[in-house]
């Protein structure tokens, strides 16, 4: 119903726009006809009609202004006013033309000829404008055309009467039929426009629903990730603590099974989160400077235990790399290597896994380089028909992979990451003899020495270095979950830290104001006051009192980039996702705690 009302409003507007200046032509033609015929100058009826045409012209302008500029008239009133004006215009012109011909009394008179020409033009123009209203159009055409036609027939010789009537009526029928065609075309276009508007509305609703669905999915994934990571922190944290106690060989095996199962579950969660980010176009590439050799060494160090566990030979060949300093996204490059090497070790039980790293400048630009990462294994191989399925979601090819744990998302995520970096991936494999995956990534290689910053690859490598027990640092642990409290306290105490516990943000602010700390580990989701608000209040107090900021690190089960960025925005220094281990906490302590300042806090 609303759409029909809108169409009627548009019809009124179209007609009003078409007719608003039409009245001037009636005035102009009538004035010219009177001006060239001295016999019409003093006739009161002719003078009255000219003045009446002026009044109708003002009425046309008034309707357009009040109806569509000021919008002070109801559209039903506008429709009636338009019809009345057209009927009055037709009647007045018919009376004017009949009076002119009666006074002239001959066709050859110039005033009569001009009146005939004007009548034909007004008929054609009026029908074109009023065509959307077919009944008004027929009434207008009949009233303006036929009286003039019959007035003309009365002043011509009798022998030409029927010829004139026949031609004139035929021309009138042509006018009406052409007007009906315009009427049909107009309404067909309006209906098409209405359908397009409805389709556009439906598409907009579908877009909004899709956005809501994506937001709901993202919220669900964020919630599920948080809820799964929280207990997993308890499982893996307690497993790590348990592994440091006196255990029999059989008990150590059991603990390893628990740890490996938990880590597998975390990898599955991370894969699903990355897949969701890619689907929502929220996964971004962050380019920064890094050392290629440092990155490769870290990856090699992480996979050496896996090679030892499966008794596989793990070979890393970097002889083909002439460039070490690059600009790109080292975290995503590592993720690609983790996926490719992870699959290689997963599907290889005998022989070797080889990583070949080649980085050479491109021929076209010396400041650009192509990083080529090739992973070769001697595993089960992939049949040609299954190679086509490799990059499909939730797909693991081959019957022999049914016992392998995973989501089947790794290669799909790898391909999408490479696509975001304008890279490519190819695969060659032979069933029973192994596979070769080759990833090519274009990077920037022209890096000044001062641009090379200590990135995540270097900071994380510090975990393998021997750490002196110089901390004795005072750490405020803000955590509401009792299991996470137990694990975090146990790890921190093993690192010789003095731990003060706060169960929510409000308690954290109170503890911070009552004593000094070297580091604050802040959970984000807590009752009473969350970690974001607590951090804001701590930073505000520090600024107000002009004192040095205490490092605050987010310790949360949220793993989404939006949450990480929010942590940084409120004043936290870094984000550590649960579950975490002792090495990760040691790195945080090493990064943010100055040993001398820690000793000062102890002495005070």
Q: Which helix (H) or strand (E) holds 515?
A: none
Determine the average pLDDT of the residues in 394-403: 46
Are both 255 and 109 inside the same structural domain? no
**Per-residue pLDDT tens over the stretch 508-536:** 999 999 999 999 999 988 889 999 999 99
For 428, the domain range is: 288-462
Are both 294 and 329 inside the same structural domain? yes
Closest CA to 271 of 395, 401, 409: 409
Task: Please state, in angstroms and as integers, the Cα–Cα distance from residue 148 to each residue in 100, 110, 119, 173, 536, following that order.
Answer: 10, 15, 8, 15, 87
- Helices marked H in 244-309: 249-279, 292-309
Q: Which residue has the higher pLDDT, 279 or 339?
A: 339
Are both 24 and 143 inside the same structural domain? yes
Q: Which residue has the higher pLDDT, 183 or 279?
A: 183
Query: Does residue 195 lie within any of the structural domains?
Result: no
Determine the average pLDDT of the residues in 133-142: 91
Q: Which residue has the higher pLDDT, 225 or 457?
A: 225
Alpha carbon distance 189, 546 (integer Å): 70
Alpha carbon distance 231, 242 (integer Å): 16
Query: Does residue 180 lie within any of the structural domains?
Result: no
Query: Does residue 189 lie within any of the structural domains?
Result: no
pLDDT at residue number 585 = 87
Alpha carbon distance 491, 585 (integer Å): 8
* pTM (whole model) above 0.85: no
Alpha carbon distance 405, 254 (integer Å): 18
**Per-residue pLDDT tens over the stretch 188-223:** 888 888 888 889 989 999 989 888 887 777 677 667
- Count other C-beta atoms under 10 Å from residue 108's C-beta: 8
pLDDT at residue number 602 = 40
**pLDDT level of residue 364 (50, 70, 90 thresholds):** low
pLDDT at residue number 337 = 92
Closest CA to 85 of 20, 7, 5: 20
pLDDT at residue number 403 = 40
Alpha carbon distance 285, 327 (integer Å): 12
pLDDT at residue number 455 = 40
Here the CATH number for the domain that contains residue 531 is 3.40.50.2300
Cβ atoms of residues 395 and 389 within 8 Å = yes
3-class DSSP state of 578: coil
Alpha carbon distance 35, 47 (integer Å): 11
Which among 130, 156, 182 is the end of a domain?
156
Query: Does residue 433 lie within any of the structural domains?
Result: yes
Query: Does residue 116 lie within any of the structural domains?
Result: yes
Are both 479 and 333 inside the same structural domain? no
Burial (0-12, 13-18, 19+ Cβ within 10 Å), 406: middle
State the angle between helix axes of 134-155 and 161-243 in degrees (0 to 180), rounded to the nearest 10: 160
Are both 257 and 334 inside the same structural domain? no
**Per-residue pLDDT tens over the stretch 435-484:** 999 999 999 886 444 443 334 333 333 333 334 444 578 999 999 888 88
**pLDDT level of residue 392 (50, 70, 90 thresholds):** low
Determine the average pLDDT of the residues in 9-14: 79
Are both 13 and 58 inside the same structural domain? yes
Which among 91, 124, 156 is the end of a domain?
156
Query: Does residue 183 lie within any of the structural domains?
Result: no
Asked if pLDDT for residue 144 goes beyond 50, the answer is: yes
Query: Does residue 537 lie within any of the structural domains?
Result: yes
Are both 474 and 376 inside the same structural domain? no
- Asked whether the CA dihedral 455, 458, 461, 463 is positive or negative, the reply is negative
Are both 443 and 476 inside the same structural domain? no
Asked if pLDDT for residue 259 goes beyond 80, the answer is: no
Cβ atoms of residues 498 and 474 within 8 Å = yes
Task: Please state, in angstroms and as integers, the Cα–Cα distance from residue 74 to each residue in 63, 67, 77, 80, 83, following that order.
Answer: 11, 7, 5, 10, 15
Query: What total number of domains does the chain contain?
Result: 4
Alpha carbon distance 264, 297 (integer Å): 23
Here the CATH number for the domain that contains residue 327 is 3.30.565.10
Alpha carbon distance 166, 58 (integer Å): 37
Cβ atoms of residues 7 and 195 within 8 Å = no
Cβ atoms of residues 123 and 145 within 8 Å = yes
Alpha carbon distance 234, 103 (integer Å): 110
Burial (0-12, 13-18, 19+ Cβ within 10 Å), 205: exposed
State the angle between helix axes of 2-19 and 110-130 in degrees (0 to 180), rounded to the nearest 10: 160
Cis peptide before 579 (omega within 30 of 0): yes
Are both 53 and 102 inside the same structural domain? yes
Cβ atoms of residues 355 and 337 within 8 Å = yes
Are both 257 and 146 inside the same structural domain? no
pLDDT at residue number 277 = 66
Task: Please state, in angstroms and as integers, the Cα–Cα distance from residue 347 to each residue in 398, 451, 467, following that order.
Answer: 11, 40, 36
Are both 325 and 450 inside the same structural domain? yes
Alpha carbon distance 522, 542 (integer Å): 17
Which among 446, 462, 478 is the end of a domain?
462
Alpha carbon distance 78, 134 (integer Å): 17
* Backbone Cα Rg of the chain: 43
Q: What is the largest CA-CA distance in the chain?
A: 132
Strands 352-361 and 325-328: unpaired
pLDDT at residue number 509 = 95
**pLDDT level of residue 564 (50, 70, 90 thresholds):** confident
φ and ψ at residue 319, rounded to 5 degrees:
-65, -25
Q: Which residue has the higher pLDDT, 153 or 224?
A: 153
Query: Does residue 179 lie within any of the structural domains?
Result: no
546 in the Ramachandran plot: left (φ > 0), alpha (ψ -120 to 50) or beta?
left
**Per-residue pLDDT tens over the stretch 182-195:** 999 988 888 888 88
Are both 299 and 446 inside the same structural domain? yes
């Amino acid at each position: 119903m609303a759409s029909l009302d809108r169409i009627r409003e548009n019809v009124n507007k179209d007609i009003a726009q078409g007719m608003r200046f039409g009245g001037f032509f009636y005035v102009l033609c009538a004035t010219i006809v009177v001006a060239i015929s001295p016999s019409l100058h003093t006739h009161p009826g002719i003078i009255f009609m000219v003045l009446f045409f002026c009044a109708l012209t003002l009425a046309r302008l008034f309707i357009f202004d009040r109806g569509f500029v000021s919008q002070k008239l109801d559209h039903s009133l506008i429709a009636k006013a338009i019809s009345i004006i057209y009927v009055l215009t037709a009647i007045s012109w018919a009376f004017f033309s009949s009076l002119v011909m009666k006074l002239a009394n001959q066709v050859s008179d110039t005033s009569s000829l001009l009146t005939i020409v004007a009548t034909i033009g007004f008929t054609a123009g009026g029908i074109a404008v009023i065509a959307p209203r077919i009944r008004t159009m027929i009434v207008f055409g009949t009233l303006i055309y036929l009286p003039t036609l019959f007035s003309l027939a009365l002043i011509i010789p009798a022998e030409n009467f029927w010829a004139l009537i026949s031609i004139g009526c035929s021309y009138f029928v042509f006018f009406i039929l052409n007007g009906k065609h315009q009427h049909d075309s107009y309404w067909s276009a309006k209906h098409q426009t209405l359908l397009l508007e409805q389709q556009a509305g439906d598409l907009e609703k579908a877009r909004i629903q899709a956005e809501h669905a994506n937001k709901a999915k993202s919220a669900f994934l964020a919630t599920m990730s948080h809820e799964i990571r929280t207990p997993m922190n308890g499982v893996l944290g307690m497993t790590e603590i348990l592994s440091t106690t006196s255990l029999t060989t059989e008990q150590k095996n059991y603990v390893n099974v628990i740890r490996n199962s938990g880590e597998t579950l975390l990898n599955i969660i991370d894969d699903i989160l990355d897949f969701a980010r890619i689907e929502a176009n929220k996964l971004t590439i962050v380019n920064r400077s890094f050392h290629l050799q440092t990155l490769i060494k870290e990856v090699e160090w992480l996979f050496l235990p896996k090679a030892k566990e499966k008794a596989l030979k793990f070979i890393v060949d970097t002889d083909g790399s002439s460039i070490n300093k690059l600009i790109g996204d080292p975290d995503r490059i590592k993720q690609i290597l983790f996926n490719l090497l992870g699959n290689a070790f997963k599907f290889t039980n005998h022989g070797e896994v080889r990583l070949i790293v080649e980085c050479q400048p491109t021929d076209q630009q010396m400041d650009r380089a192509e990083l080529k990462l090739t992973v070769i294994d001697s595993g089960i191989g992939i049949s040609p028909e299954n190679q086509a399925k490799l990059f499909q979601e939730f797909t693991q090819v081959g019957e022999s992979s049914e016992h392998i744990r995973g989501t089947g998302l790794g290669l799909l995520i790898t391909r999408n990451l490479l696509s975001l970096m304008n890279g490519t991936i190819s695969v060659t494999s032979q069933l029973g003899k192994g596979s070769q995956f080759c990833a090519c990534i274009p990077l920037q290689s022209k890096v000044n020495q001062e641009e090379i910053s200590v990135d995540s690859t270097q900071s994380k490598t510090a975990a393998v270095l021997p750490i002196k027990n110089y901390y004795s640092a005072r750490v405020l642990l803000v955590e509401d979950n009792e299991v996470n409290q137990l694990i975090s306290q146990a790890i921190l105490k093993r690192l010789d830290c003095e731990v003060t516990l706060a169960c929510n943000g409000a308690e954290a602010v109170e503890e911070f104001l009552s004593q000094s700390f070297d580091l604050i580990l802040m959970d984000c989701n807590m009752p009473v006051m969350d970690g974001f608000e607590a951090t804001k209040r701590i930073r505000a107090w520090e600024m107000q009192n002009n004192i040095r900021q205490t490092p605050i690190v987010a310790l949360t089960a949220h793993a989404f980039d939006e949450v990480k960025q929010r942590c940084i925005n409120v004043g936290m220094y870094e984000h550590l996702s649960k579950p975490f281990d002792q090495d990760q906490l040691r790195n945080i302590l090493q990064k943010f705690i100055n040993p001398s300042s820690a000793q000062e806090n102890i002495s005070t």
